[in-house]
């Protein structure tokens, strides 16, 4: 193979695949399993009064976020009574809005989801989607607090099974529809692991891996390719910078590798990260003046708190305080 893939790479990839599938979704308002799809499933169409593109109020709300200029990635599928039918697209929609976590308050994200669903589907589908959101948030919390990442060759299968059991416990019969792509991706990961750790020559492993990759549906193959690129994004960006190329070249790489919308989001995040670093440096200069003053410790602390309150939003102040503690010399 172009590179010999060791077990550690396999384990790391499985952990990354878990993160890839983590930001997903919930179901019925009362937690019960709904009957199979009712007659005549329908989706909101871009050429009808309901459209998968955010309506003007939602688009305006997203204008100052990292989702500015992007579209909701899927349509809501409904039965003849306007009730939501779960599928992987439903999960992608919730994942799309939840990517704003940290940028917007949870209550505002929830409001945007409801507003978009009511305008692009039906009030009943919006209610179902919010119920699914609640269950998905529960899933995310339980996933984050559990131990679902494989740490050795022997527990890869067990960890994947534990993840599936958690999804079934929370989502019931809807789990299969919501996590169909992740199940296929997990199976791919298991087969990949079996090839890489099997008793075959490098040439045989190369052929087996080519066959396995060819079996992936196009969208999952693209997900895998992008996941691999994300794992090496920092070093690739550094290599671009080291060759004397500029931000335009970096954007072109992002665009080619991840698509237009992802490239724009990466560009926006890089700009926000740069702005944050500049703001923190400006703050740090003033902080150091306060710390170097002859004031009593209590007065210094009070002035630091006032400085943070003046320069940073309430949600940012805890992060600033934590960064300050990291900069304190050992022993202080």
Considering the domain architecture, whether residues 211 and 273 belong to the same structural domain is answered as no
Residue 257 lies in a domain: no
Residue 19 lies in a domain: yes
- For residue 331, the 8-state DSSP code is T
Domain boundary among 153, 187, 215: 215
CA distance 31 to 184: 25
Considering the domain architecture, whether residues 202 and 272 belong to the same structural domain is answered as no
| Structure tokens belonging to residue 171 | 């989502």
Helix (H, G, I), strand (E, B) or coil at 17: helix
- Ranges of residues in the chain with a pLDDT under 70 are 1-56, 150-154, 329-332
Considering the domain architecture, whether residues 273 and 164 belong to the same structural domain is answered as no
Q: What is the pLDDT of residue 27?
A: 28
Strand order of the β-sheet with 84-85 is 42-43, 77-78, 84-85
Q: What is the pLDDT of residue 26?
A: 30
Considering the domain architecture, whether residues 208 and 270 belong to the same structural domain is answered as no
Q: Domain of 11?
A: 7-215
The torsion defined by the Cα of 135, 140, 144 and 149, in degrees rounded to 10, comes to 110
CA distance 10 to 14: 6
Residue 183 lies in a domain: yes
Q: What total of structural domains would you count in the chain? A: 2
Predicted TM-score (pTM) of the model is: 0.55
Q: What is the pLDDT of residue 326?
A: 79
Residue 245 lies in a domain: no
- For residue 153, the 8-state DSSP code is G
Q: What is the pLDDT of residue 327?
A: 75
């Amino acid at each position: 193979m172009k590179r010999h893939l060791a077990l550690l790479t396999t384990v790391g990839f499985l952990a990354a695949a878990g993160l890839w599938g983590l930001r997903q979704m919930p179901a019925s308002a009362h937690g019960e399993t709904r009957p199979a799809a009712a007659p005549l499933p329908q989706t909101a169409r871009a050429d009808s009064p309901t459209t998968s593109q955010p309506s003007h109020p939602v688009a305006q709300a997203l204008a100052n976020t990292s989702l500015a200029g992007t579209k909701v990635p899927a349509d809501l599928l409904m039965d003849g009574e306007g009730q939501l039918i779960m599928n992987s697209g439903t999960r992608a929609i919730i994942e799309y809005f939840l990517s704003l976590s940290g940028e917007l308050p949870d209550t505002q994200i929830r409001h945007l989801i409801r507003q978009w669903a009511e305008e692009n589907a039906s009030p009943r589908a919006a209610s179902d989607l919010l119920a699914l959101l609640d269950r998905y948030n529960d899933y995310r919390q339980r996933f984050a607090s559990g131990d679902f990442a494989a740490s050795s060759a022997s527990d890869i299968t067990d960890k994947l099974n534990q993840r599936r059991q958690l999804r079934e416990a929370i989502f019931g019969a809807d789990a299969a529809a919501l996590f169909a792509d992740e199940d296929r991706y997990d199976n791919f990961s298991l087969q990949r692991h079996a090839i890489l750790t099997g008793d075959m020559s490098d040439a045989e492993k190369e052929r087996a891996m080519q066959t396995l990759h060819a079996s992936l549906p196009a969208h999952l193959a693209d997900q895998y390719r992008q996941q691999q690129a994300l794992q090496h994004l920092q070093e690739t960006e550094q290599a671009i910078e080291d060759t004397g190329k500029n931000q335009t070249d970096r954007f072109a790489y992002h665009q080619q590798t991840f698509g237009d919308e992802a490239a724009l989001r990466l560009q926006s995040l890089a700009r926000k990260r740069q702005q944050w670093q500049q703001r923190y440096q400006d703050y740090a200069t003033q902080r150091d003046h306060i710390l170097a003053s002859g004031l009593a410790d209590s007065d210094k602390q009070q002035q630091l708190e006032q400085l943070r309150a003046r320069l940073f939003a309430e949600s940012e102040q805890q992060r600033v305080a934590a960064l300050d503690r990291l900069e304190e010399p050992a022993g202080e």
